[in-house]
């Protein structure tokens, strides 16, 4: 399985001439997940040639405008494009009220169903799953209830070696159990260990999204060894006091968090418009965690088995 992450927006509160507010699009083997939906998200989706009709799940971290203002226009555009499939929206409890109140004034009949899934941010919980992937919530520390998200591929079964089937005359009825890791018993009672009969599956791929939040080491056991970690870095560390007051993070703090979590790569974004050189964020973080990348709108990052 492979994950392909497209950065649609990388700014914090204010859009700039180069950066839209926060939004990510995760393609997990052609299953598309939109994560946050800041102003201009649908424009970015079109710019980067992402088919809107492939999006069936939207995950909203919290109810600040730079993470939600794009939802209203996107929902309307889905209707104008003739969408028929339900749209599942995961977010804080009041998100449903906000969207439905908006629709009362502008659009009574969408032509498709909105299905709301309320997220409680006090603890991690399974939000979504299909045969290939699970999505878990991650409690954030912010001024309002906020949630991050962990996207993790489900572990596959082991691969049975076809030659061993013939060698040991393994009946078809035993193959599913062997793929699940069981040994095989011969008619004479001898046991053939599973390690001789199978190959291990590829390691599941994973992506964690942490925005907006103060540093939260309680998340480390939940995302340990994650392949790709996005962590907000609204401020440089010289402004750590301001980050603390506003319940955001600095690039140094994000790097320390990534190192503790043994992440494969760290993506940093949600930059405050007060800073002119985004390269300073990357330089600061790389002093602690070398595999750090300051994201730009349109950047694409891939994770493969």
Our answer to whether residue 212 is catalytic in this structure is no
Give yes or no for a contact between 127 and 97, defined as CB atoms under 8 angstroms apart: no
Helices and strands (H and E) in the chain: how many: 11, 18
Provide the pairing of β-strand 114-118 with 87-91: parallel
Give yes or no for a contact between 36 and 17, defined as CB atoms under 8 angstroms apart: no
Q: What is the rounded distance in angstroms from the CA atom of residue 258 to the CA atom of residue 201?
A: 26
Axis-axis angle for helices 70-80, 95-106 (nearest 10): 50
The one catalytic residue in 36, 66, 212, 297 is 66
Burial class (CB in 10 A: 0-12, 13-18, 19+), 15: middle
**Sheet of 2-9: strands edge to edge?**
114-118, 87-91, 55-59, 31-35, 23-28, 2-9, 300-304
Give the count of alpha carbons within 13 A of 172, CB side only.
Answer: 0
The tokens for 224 are: 């340990």
Tell me the three state secondary structure of residue 32: strand
Active site residues: 66
């Amino acid at each position: 399985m492979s994950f392909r992450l497209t950065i649609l927006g990388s700014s914090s509160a204010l859009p700039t001439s180069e950066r839209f507010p926060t939004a990510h699009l995760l393609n997990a083997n052609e299953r598309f997940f939109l994560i946050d939906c800041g102003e201009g998200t649908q424009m970015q989706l079109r710019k980067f040639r992402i088919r809107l009709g492939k999006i069936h799940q939207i995950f909203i971290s919290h109810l600040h405008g730079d993470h939600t203002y794009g939802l209203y226009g996107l929902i309307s555009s889905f209707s104008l494009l003739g969408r028929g499939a339900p749209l599942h929206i995961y977010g804080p409890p009041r998100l449903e009220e906000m969207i439905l109140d908006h629709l009362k004034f502008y659009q009574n009949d969408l032509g498709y169903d909105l299905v709301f899934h309320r997220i409680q941010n006090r603890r991690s919980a399974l939000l979504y799953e299909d045969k290939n992937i699970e999505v878990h919530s991650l409690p954030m520390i912010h001024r309002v209830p906020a949630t991050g998200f962990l996207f993790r591929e489900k572990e596959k079964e082991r691969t049975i070696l076809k030659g061993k089937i013939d060698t040991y005359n393994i009946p078809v009825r035993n193959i599913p159990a062997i793929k699940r890791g069981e040994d095989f018993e011969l008619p004479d009672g001898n046991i053939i260990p599973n390690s001789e009969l199978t190959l291990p599956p590829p390691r599941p791929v994973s992506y964690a999204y942490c925005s907006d939040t103060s540093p939260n080491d309680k998340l480390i056991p939940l995302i340990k060894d994650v392949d790709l970690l996005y962590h907000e870095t609204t401020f440089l560390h010289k402004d750590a006091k301001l980050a603390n007051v506003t319940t955001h993070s600095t690039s140094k703090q994000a790097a320390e968090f990534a190192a503790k979590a043994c992440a494969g790569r760290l993506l940093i974004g949600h930059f405050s418009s007060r800073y002119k050189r985004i390269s300073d964020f990357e330089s600061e973080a790389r002093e602690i965690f070398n595999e750090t990348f300051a994201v730009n709108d349109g950047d694409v990052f891939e994770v493969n088995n």
